[in-house]
Structure 1
């Protein structure tokens, strides 16, 4: 059963300018493992984190490092969750988090579906 859906879109040029203007932003938004990725990958990860927040229904108490995008053994993206976000997901009985990310034509996007067992 679907427990939440979220989507987000990021303008790549605007996101790149934000990272250039505010060097600490990369550290604030991304875990150490994510920080070295190219800007288009960072923008897609930011969109995925925003989409997860939307799927959960809000960002109360959420920190950016509570959500990390990692590839699974087949190189598909997935979340590793920590602290507040991990607790929120567990408390809501979320069994699976589906995430897809893309970047093309100056845009990065992500879509998240939260699923409970029926």
Structure 2
């Protein structure tokens, strides 16, 4: 296995919250339904959503930032252990297949008003 791409991104949580408030339909354009909710069914907090948005940006960077990727074609989910994972489909899966990506590694964080994510595409 080899590293095909690495992406990192940060999102200012307050600015991201303001964007969601200003444009209510934005959340549905960026996230699939499962990403918007906690396992309990409650709405996910803005810091957690900002970290997921940063992960989607990091995915694009790991894939060389090609045009045409859809936000909802990269889904961040969390295992019972708390480890974040990435599920890809559509435009993201097609680009990943072109590059030979076989595995994804994801790390999310949020602290001091900033959310961040690192994504490694492995082939």
Same fold (TM over 0.5): yes
TM-score by length of 1: 0.93
Q: Which 4+ runs in 1 deviate beyond 3 A?
A: none
| Alpha-carbon distance between aligned partners in 2 of 1:99 and 1:106, rounded to the nearest angstrom | 20
Mapping for residues 42-81 of structure 1, pairs under 5 Å: 42-81=49-88
Q: Report the 3-state secondary structure (helix = DSSP H, G, I; strand = E; otherwise coil) of the residue aligned with 1:74.
A: coil
Q: 1:29 is matched with which residue? A: 30
Kindly indicate whether residue 98 of structure 2 is the aligned counterpart of residue 91 of structure 1: yes
- Decide which moves more: 3-12 or 57-66: 57-66
Q: Give the deviation of 1:62 after TM superposition.
A: 0.7
TM-score by length of 2: 0.90
Number of equivalenced pairs = 116
Q: Give the deviation of 1:19 after TM superposition.
A: 0.6
Query: Gapped runs of 5+ residues in structure 1?
Result: none
